[in-house]
């Protein structure tokens, strides 16, 4: 009773609003997004490209190489990628809130979606450990956290696999991928990642699940996968929240 009262007072003093619709949230609505907004999230169902995670048209089924993958011959260095959904609407709003507005509460719904997607695709049996895409230490310091790591942690727990958040590191600071064209994205992150020398022994013959928030050209996943495989990893799979195909062809 006191707890509810205190929470009610807190809501009056410090009202919380849905990060997407702006509707005030009541104390019975934890988190940062209104339940009716969350229900509108469009999730990838049975129609997707298993190679890059892109959602396909209704009733297309599982495609092993979509039109874009046909064009991107060099691939992502990943065996398969799963994406919760397209980078639009609710998923985009939550990703932006997490990445740029310091809204850590966005992790709860996003990681739930990610866990569900990874289990639905059967990726859980194929990997030995979960590896978040690292941020440069300076960017991590500025943001206060690495959003990929926040998403990877509950996923690793749900899978019952170790979270290896100190395996990969950025060798240099790169420009934000969102500011670049497809070709620039690839050269921007080319060789930007490396495996920490002390972690190399752990990777031998391991299959890893790389986790990131958004995948656009796949250049970041590809650069991470390359570093992991060069250090001895057997296979790399990818799990992302949102698959953006906008700007891929630019
Ligand atoms: Zn594809």
Whether residues 21 and 117 share a domain: the answer is no
Question: How far is the C-alpha of 216 from the C-alpha of 179, rounded, in Å?
Answer: 12
Q: Residues whose CB is under 5 A from ligand 1 (ion)?
A: 49, 51-52, 54, 66, 69
Instruction: Examine the domain organization and report whether 16 and 119 are in the same domain.
Output: no
The closest alpha carbon to 20, from 99, 85, 95, belongs to: 95
Check whether residue 138 and residue 238 sit in a common domain.
Answer: yes
Q: Mark whether 16 and 52 lie in a shared domain.
A: no
pLDDT at 83: 96
User: In tens digits, what is the pLDDT along the chain, a chain of 250 residues?
Assistant: 556 777 777 777 778 899 999 999 998 898 999 999 999 999 998 899 999 999 998 899 999 888 888 877 778 888 899 999 999 999 999 999 999 999 999 999 999 999 999 999 999 999 999 999 999 999 999 999 999 999 999 999 999 999 999 999 998 888 888 888 888 888 888 889 999 999 999 999 999 999 999 998 899 999 999 999 999 999 999 999 999 877 554 3
Range of the domain at 25: 1-40
CA pair distance 126, 237, nearest whole angstrom: 9
pTM of this prediction exceeds 0.85: yes
- Give whole-number Cα distances, 219 to 34, 95, 101, 178, 225, in Å: 33, 19, 25, 12, 10
Cα-based angle 113, 226, 183 (whole degrees, multiple of 5): 85
Q: How far is the CA of 237 from the centre of ligand 1 (A)?
A: 14
In a domain, 248, yes or no: no
Query: Do 111 and 151 share a structural domain?
Result: yes
Indicate whether 133 belongs to any domain. Answer: yes
Question: Ligand 1 centre and the CA of 184: distance in Å?
Answer: 20
Tell whether 104 and 156 lie within a shared domain: yes
Three-state secondary structure of the chain: CHHHHHHHHHHHHCCEECCCCCCEECCCCCCCCCHHHHCCCCCCCCCEECCCCCECCCCCCEECCCHHHHHCCCCCCCCCEEEEEECCHHHHHHHHHHHHCCCHHHHHHHHHHHHHHHHHCCHHHHCCEEEECCCCHHHHHHHCCCHHHHHHHHHHHHHCCCECCCCEEECCCCCCHHHCCHHHHHHHHCCCEEECHHHHHHHCCCEEEEEEEEECCCHHHHHHHHHHHHCCCCEEEEEEEEECCCCCCC
> Does 249 reside within a domain?
no
CA of 131 to the centre of ligand 1 (A): 22
Q: What is the CATH number of the domain that holds 157?
A: 3.40.50.2020
Quote the ligand 1 centre to 179 CA distance (angstroms). Answer: 23
Answer yes or no: do 73 and 173 share one domain.
yes
Q: How many angstroms does the Cα of residue 140 sit away from the middle of ligand 1?
A: 30
Query: d(Cα 109, Cα 203) in Å, to the nearest integer?
Result: 30
- Verify that 16 and 64 share a domain, yes or no: no
**Ligand 1 center–CA 176 separation, angstroms:** 23
Q: Do 1 and 19 have their domain in common? A: yes
Strand pairing of 81-86 and 62-63?
unpaired
Same-domain status, 35 and 134? no
Q: 50 with 68, same domain?
A: yes
Domain membership of residue 114 (yes or no) is yes
Within a domain: residue 46?
yes
Same-domain check for residues 60 and 162: yes
Does a structural domain hold residue 250?
A: no
Residue 200 falls inside a structural domain = yes
Domain contains 53: yes
Q: How many structural domains compose the chain?
A: 2
């Amino acid at each position: 009773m006191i707890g509810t009262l205190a929470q009610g007072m807190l809501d009056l003093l410090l009202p919380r609003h849905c990060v997407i619709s702006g509707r005030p949230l009541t104390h019975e609505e934890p988190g940062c997004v209104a339940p009716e907004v969350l229900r509108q999230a469009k999730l990838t169902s049975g129609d997707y490209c298993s190679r890059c995670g892109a959602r396909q048209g209704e009733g297309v089924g599982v495609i092993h190489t979509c039109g874009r993958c046909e064009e991107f011959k060099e691939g992502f260095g990943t065996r398969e990628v799963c994406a919760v959904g397209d980078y639009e609407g609710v998923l985009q709003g939550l990703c932006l809130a997490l990445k740029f507005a310091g809204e850590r509460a966005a992790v709860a719904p996003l990681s739930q979606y990610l866990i569900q997607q990874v289990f639905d695709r059967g990726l859980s049996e194929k990997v030995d450990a979960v590896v978040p895409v690292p941020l440069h230490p300076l960017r991590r310091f500025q943001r206060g956290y690495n959003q990929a790591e926040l998403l990877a942690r509950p996923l690793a727990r749900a899978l019952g696999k170790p979270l290896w958040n100190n395996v990969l590191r950025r060798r240099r600071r790169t420009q934000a991928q969102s500011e670049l064209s497809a070709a620039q994205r690839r050269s921007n992150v080319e060789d930007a990642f490396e495996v920490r020398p002390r972690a190399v022994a752990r990777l031998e013959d391991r299959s890893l699940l790389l986790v990131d928030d958004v995948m656009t050209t796949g250049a970041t996943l590809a650069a991470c996968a390359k570093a992991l495989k060069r250090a001895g990893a057997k296979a790399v799979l990818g799990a992302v929240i949102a698959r953006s195909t906008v700007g891929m062809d630019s």
